[in-house]
Amino acid sequence: MTLKDLHIDTSWTLFLDRDGVINRKLDNDYVKHWIEFEFLDGVHGALKTLRDKFNTIVIVTNQQCIGKGIIRVEDLEIIHKNMLYEINYMGGRIDKVYFSPYLTSDNHPTRKPSIGMALQAQKEFDAIDFSKSIIVGDSMSDMEFGRTAGMKTVYISDTPRQDPKIDFHVKSLLEFTQQLD
């Protein structure tokens, strides 16, 4: 099966992880300031194309740097405000950003792989049907999040990985977009 076989139309929802999908993931660190946020190659073009393919596009991101006291919620909100401004300016669209500020050890229901952020999105956007949703992420917690919620899963990595939680493998958000056409 290929991504084209899903017959995606504007009734579908796209869930995106942030770090490693939208922006460059920092090695052993967190994006703490807007100046450290670097869009990955092709993301703007991909989001511009995806805006017309999906009914709803949301970001779901674990941000335990808040729980660790490294940054404040207000700092993260500034990063997201600037990210959304640039995405919109470049012709893309993100309908909402959901984040979980909790530590892994908190085992909070909003922290991926738990599906709390998906349930928050579904509560806010009535049209979200998880059977017509895709999660694009670069970690196995993203894949488990999608599988638990009943979504299709797309794993971003330079190296293919065999795992039953992964439906599709791509190297970037741009490649995902190209495979939809």
| Residues labelled catalytic | 17, 19
* Residue in the block written with tokens 């942030």: 18
Total residue count of the chain as it appears in this document: 181
d(CA 146, CA 39): 23
d(CA 74, CA 165): 34
Q: How many CB atoms lie within 10 A of CB 36?
A: 13
Query: Residue 107, by phi and psi: left (phi above 0), alpha (psi -120 to 50) or beta?
Result: left
Q: How many CB atoms lie within 10 A of CB 78?
A: 14
* Residue in the block written with tokens 């084209």: 4
d(CA 55, CA 98): 17
d(CA 60, CA 127): 17
